[in-house]
Structure formats: C-alpha cells, structure tokens
Chains A and B, each alone.
Chain A
Amino acid sequence: MSDIADRVKKIVVEHLGVEEDKVVESASFIDDLGADSLDTVELVMAFEEEFGIEIPDDAAETIQTVGDAVTFIKGAV
C-alpha cells in the first residue's frame, strides 16, 4: 500500500520539480505544489501509465491532492 504512495510521490516530485518533503498527503497540486491545469492533466497521464489504469475525466477532476490520488489509485489497481 505504501508502495503506491511512494510511487505517486516520486511522480509528483519528478513532474512538478518540488521538494520531496512538500509532497504530503494533504498537499494540493495547484494550491500547494504550484501545478497549473496542464500539469494536472500530465500528472493524471503519468499515473495512468505508472499503474496501468484508466482515470476518467470526471474522476480526474476530483483528484486535487496527493492523498486523493493515492486513494483513487488504491481503489483502481
């Protein structure tokens, strides 16, 4: 389980170029980690690829924080 969280964090750090200690569960991609709307699309694409899942648009919209992503992916894999 924590493996998923670690992989999510790694992707976020790589894509957004932020410090690892800022990527906490409650961190909002846009408000806390400086992502723009296109970054969030890219993150979703990266999650889909990393975990071999499909994240539909309406689900993608609900993924606002690192924790949201981890929760969604845990339910999808």
Chain B
Amino acid sequence: MATFFGEVQSVFSRAVDEEEEDEDDDEEEEEDREIIAELERKREVRVTWNPELTAAIESSPGKRLPCSSVILSVGDNATGFVSSYILSSGSWEVAGSVTLWNERCRDCNVRKDFLPAPSSCTFYRSITDPTVLLCQCNCHVAEDQLFQWCEKVFGSLEKSSLKVTVLSTCPVSEYKTPESTYSLPVPFLKALRTSEYREEVPCPLLEQPNIVDGLPAAVLSHCQVLGIPAVFYQCYTDISKLDSVTIKAFRPLLSSGSLSRLAADSANIQETLRKTVKLNEIQSNLYI
C-alpha cells in the first residue's frame, strides 16, 4: 500500500503471514540462540543522564529523579516546535540522552560531550525549574524497543507528581473522517489523554475510530496503565517534512496548561524558527 506521500508500507489489515508461522522455538540451534541474544543486546535501549543528574538519582530515596513535568516531542515538526518556541529561551541545559540501534537508526554512539546526536533522543532540563524535563526524539524507535524505552525512561523518574505531554505529527491521509480528507483545513490538532489527566485541552479530542501508534502510543499506554496524567497532541498535516506552517499549528498549546509558562520570547522564537526551517530548506535543494 502506498501512503499519501508515496512510500510503500505493509498493509495493516494483514494480521498474519500467508503461510503458517513456523516458530518452533524449541528446535532452535545453540548458534541461533547466540545470534538472537547478541541482536537483543544490540537493540537494547540505553538511557544516559549527565553526571549531575546521575548523582541526584543515586542520592534520592527511591533512586528516582524528582520530576514534575516531561514534555516529549516526536518527529521533525514537533521537535522543531519545541526548539523554536521553548528551547530558544536559553534557560535549558542538556540533561541526558537515549541511544538505541535499529534498522532505521544506526547512529548509536553515546556522545561524551552530551551534545544532541543527529539521531537520538535528547533530554533537556529547565535551569529555572529543574523538575521540568524536555525530550526531543528525532530517531525511529522500533516496535520491539517502544516498551523498553518507556520502562527505562520513566523508571528513573519520580512518578508522584509527574505530568506528561507528548507532541507528534501524522499525515492527514491517515485521519479517518466521514468527509473527505481533501476538504479538511490542514494542519489541525487532536488530543488524547489518560484517565488521570483532568485539565482542559485546547483542541478537540481524537475521534473514534482514529488510533495512534509508535512512541506516543507506548508512552500513553504506560501512563494510562500506571495512572500517570498524560496528554498527547497529534498534529495532522499534509507536509511530511519540517515546515513552519506545521510547526505553528502547535501554538495553541502555549496558551494553556504546563507549556504556557515555558514559552520563549517572541524575538527568539522568530529567529530560531527561521534558522530551523532554512537549514532544512538548504539541505533539501541539492541542485539549486
């Protein structure tokens, strides 16, 4: 099946292989088991905190970092929004990173200088309020790594007063509605929240039968099951790459809730936004 953007994907409804699955695990050779164990080690998700935070985690009673808010952005546009509208205030420091290896994300070396690697998840900590964490995730997290990602990241955070916000984007062609998706004014926001999240959301909730997958789904499931208040904002857009129109679609989120007090100065925002989008434009025009 080809999506709106033309990439070929496996069809979702094909729940099973054509032939019977022959997973006779008991008959695995010793050699196979070694290869599988080696692969599993390679695919392990690793969370690294900077020395100061590691010390804080070690010294806290439950070996967890005190944390009031985690803001996770997934994908180019959501991370672009957070970089230009929140991180550009300058009162943030790099706090750690998540490194992982899979077919679509092979750059897995831990950076000694804690600078964001091009394909990894980077944590930032607010200087003014050290209990606020931001996570910028630009890399692909494979299906078998999603559960581990959540367990490891949330496993090192204090849950008692934690609130989670997740941002991501999705092609509008995946949005299900009785009308045609051609007639929808894009980009637009939809929200999903866990039962514990009781605040108002500044956009409509995602209607059935729409569903969400990937890292946002894993984080929301984790929060729902463990009773952590969490909200997810999905921006449906018709542009797959980083662009300022899609980034700006997230702006209503700054008017309410936990994000409002984190917004940067408008001068900084415009400057960073221009830089972020321009950098991408130049790279994508090879022949001009």
- Asked if A pairs with B, the answer is no
Q: Which residues of A contact B (CB under 8 A)?
A: none
